[in-house]
Amino acid sequence: MADVVFREMQEEYLDAVRDIYLHYVFHTTATFHSRPLTREDMREIVFFENEKYKTFVIFREEELCGYVLLTQHKKREAYDTTAEVTVYLKPGCIGVGLGSLGLQHLEEYARKQGIHVLVATICGENEKSIRLVERNGYFRCAHYKEVGLKFGQYLDIVGYQKILA
């Protein structure tokens, strides 16, 4: 897809990114947030003090279609070469390859940052995200049962990882 561009997250994209995220908060179990997030809440999710971690917005033909995050896995030094990946796409932009392009972009950036392992934490019923990471070489390494409660149901999370060469 030659018409896809990744841009580093900027303040001017915050409302659009928040709108995408709020769709998942209110209508899906893709995130375990269940309340509306303020702009400040969203700012804390997508901006990082450590330059190693970044959020990138995805543009296709100048439309902001989603965003991807490379975030800290844990706040202990031994985890410094491990990071978490996250992908959120506008509902109308799913199923056209943007998720895979987003993961590939994060992997390239992660390698430049000295990251060795990428992890993804996904709600067990989120089949689209599970297929996305599996298609991109991630393998399941964990399954935690009934650890989240949203929409009156207990939810599992599954962990995936990819070791970068």
The answer to whether the predicted template modeling score (pTM) of the entire model surpasses 0.85 is yes
**27 residue type, one letter:** H
Contact 121, 109 (CB under 8 A): no
* Phi-psi region at 137: left, alpha or beta (left = phi > 0; alpha = psi -120 to 50): left
Domains of the chain in start order, with CATH, are 4-118 (3.40.630.30)
The confidence band for 165, taking pLDDT boundaries of 50, 70 and 90, is: confident
d(CA 154, CA 152): 7
Q: What pLDDT, on the 0 to 100 scale, is given for residue 1?
A: 60
In percent, the amount of the chain with pLDDT more than 90 equals 98
Mean pLDDT calculated for residue range 83-105: 97
Phi, psi dihedral angles at 83 (to 5 degrees)? -140, 160
Contact 4, 101 (CB under 8 A): yes
